[in-house]
Structure 1
Amino acid sequence: MNRTVPQKQLPKLLVVDDSADIRDSLCQYLIRSGLDAVAAASADEARAELRAEQISLIILDLMMPGEDGLSFCRALMSGAGGARVPVIMLTALHSDANKIRGLDLGADDYVTKPFNPRELLSRIHAVLRRGSLARPGPATERRRFAGILHDPQAQVVHLPDGAEVGLTSGENRLLEALLDHPGGVLSRDDIARLISRKGGTTTMRAADNCIFRLRRKLGDNARAPRILLTDWGGGYRIVDDVRPDL
């Protein structure tokens, strides 16, 4: 008997930008990249989409006629629009003051125009990943990569030679996040957030040290890594041969 396998619902993104060229081309790129996306040309249209759709993340232009992105973001963070939705600010303004204003209001990230779509996609995945990590419940999916088995519930990796190596909570969260998006870049800032204790802060140096320790535990050569790779744009990624342990 044939059984229909339920399709996993894709994260739906809302692109809010008064430029039709930007919002339409960005929506098309996101859909080609395996996400779902809808567009809005103004804050009012964005509110209508939020009422009609279950939005996972908003890409919000800062400079819009009428109600600008900062005002709309302020309303979102106040709870006026319902449940909290992550926000990535998108703007042509490069000043640190505007970046700080957006982040102080509660925006999750900030990208300046012109932007590299692949970089924006990586940041989108990072914000979505942080949201999933914030949800309660331990990770349970065991996965294999580069001949290694990761058991996130037990917080261990099983190496190809049969050795079992324990992970700290931060290392376990970091490895889980890297395996969620094989080949995708995790920035040092993302890593710092992942390994920090609740309510605390972590330095970039601590993030790099966590990468160093995780490489050592995976049996990876820090001088010529083949598993946990350095992205010279400022982050790290894991090999892309990740698969579930069946």
Structure 2
Amino acid sequence: MKPRILLVEDDINLTELVRYNLEREGFEIALSADGEEGLMMAMEQPPDLILLDWMLPNLSGIEICRRLRRNGDTANIPIIMLTARTEEGDRVRGLEIGADDYITKPFSPRELIARINAVLRRVRPGLSGKILTHAGISLDSTTHKVVRDGTQIHLGPTEFRMLRHFLENPGRVFSREQLLDAVWGHDVYVELRTVDVHIRRLRKALNINDSADIIRTVRSAGYSLDPESSMAGSASA
């Protein structure tokens, strides 16, 4: 499962070049040529990584980066700045604002893909391979096999997709609406309480042999996979 990348860039030719090469690598791409629209897209449906131009109409890439880092829902999204500004001071400023990497134009698609994979391995290691692991849980996206502490866990298709989403984003809190979009898709109508039902099923399956409950309920916010492997106690959906 390849990550979803948001590209915010107003150069049409560069956008098409990047889109073509990333889609060829299997990435899912969302596009915006406007700073304000790009910020809105990042907040409404947080991507796995953002490629962000420095100079944009209506809102600069630096300001977008600053606002994303101040927002709890987007603070941990990996950001790679794309810019023609080559001065060391500009590069330092971009990194200090919160960018994870900084690529100066022109760049080769091969370099960009390598940088993307490097950032994902560093910031979101669960997205760099087909097997996701956390707190004694191992999920193989190819065979659809889930194991916890040596015991195989049998999950339904929805619970499997939900667990995979949590494993790809450990510690991040998702609202019921965000889980609906990520697990069921945008075009499927499902009631919000359905999320709670599947959370309970997932917990029941995972909490075998009195294992710790690693799915955390965040009051008035949603659910997350606890980033600590030694979480004690359990919470109810």
Residue equivalent to 1:29: 21
Counting only pairs closer than 5 Å after superposition, residues 79-228 of structure 1 correspond to structure 2 as 79=71, 82-133=74-125, 137=135
CA deviation profile, 1:42-71 (whole Å, cap 9, x unmatched): 121212322443400000001123211111
Residue equivalent to 1:42: 34
- Contact between 2:49 and 2:79, CA under 8 Å: does it hold in 1? yes
Q: CA 1:129–1:88 in 2, change beyond 3 Å: closer, same or farther?
A: same
Equivalent position SS for 1:39: strand
Task: Name the CA distance, whole Å, in 2 between partners of 1:136 and 1:103.
Answer: 29
Equivalent position SS for 1:107: coil
- Contact between 2:46 and 2:77, CA under 8 Å: does it hold in 1? no
Equivalent position SS for 1:15: strand
Residue equivalent to 2:67: 75
Gaps of at least 5 residues in structure 2 are: 127-132, 141-148, 150-237
Task: Name the CA distance, whole Å, in 1 between partners of 2:92 and 2:136.
Answer: 33
Q: CA 1:38–1:75 in 2, change beyond 3 Å: closer, same or farther?
A: same
CA deviation profile, 1:171-221 (whole Å, cap 9, x unmatched): xxxxxxxxxxxxxxxxxxxxxxxxxxxxxxxxxxxxxxxxxxxxxxxxxxx
Q: CA 1:104–1:136 in 2, change beyond 3 Å: closer, same or farther?
A: farther
Please, what TM-score do these two structures have when normalized by structure 2?
A: 0.51
Q: Count residues in correspondence.
A: 135
Q: CA 1:80–1:69 in 2, change beyond 3 Å: closer, same or farther?
A: farther
Task: Name whichever of 38-47 and 99-108 sits farther off.
Answer: 38-47
Residue equivalent to 1:158: none
Residue equivalent to 1:193: none
Task: Name the CA distance, whole Å, in 1 between partners of 2:14 and 2:33.
Answer: 10
- Contact between 1:15 and 1:58, CA under 8 Å: does it hold in 2? yes
Q: CA 1:124–1:82 in 2, change beyond 3 Å: closer, same or farther?
A: closer
Alignment RMSD: 2.6
Q: CA deviation at 1:24?
A: 2.4
Q: CA 1:54–1:123 in 2, change beyond 3 Å: closer, same or farther?
A: same
- Contact between 1:24 and 1:39, CA under 8 Å: does it hold in 2? no
Q: What percentage of aligned pairs have identical amino acids?
A: 36
* Matching residue within 44, 47, 50 for 1:58: 50
- Contact between 1:75 and 1:81, CA under 8 Å: does it hold in 2? no
Residue 97 of structure 2 aligns with an amino acid whose one-letter code is L
Task: Name the CA distance, whole Å, in 2 between partners of 1:46 and 1:59.
Answer: 10
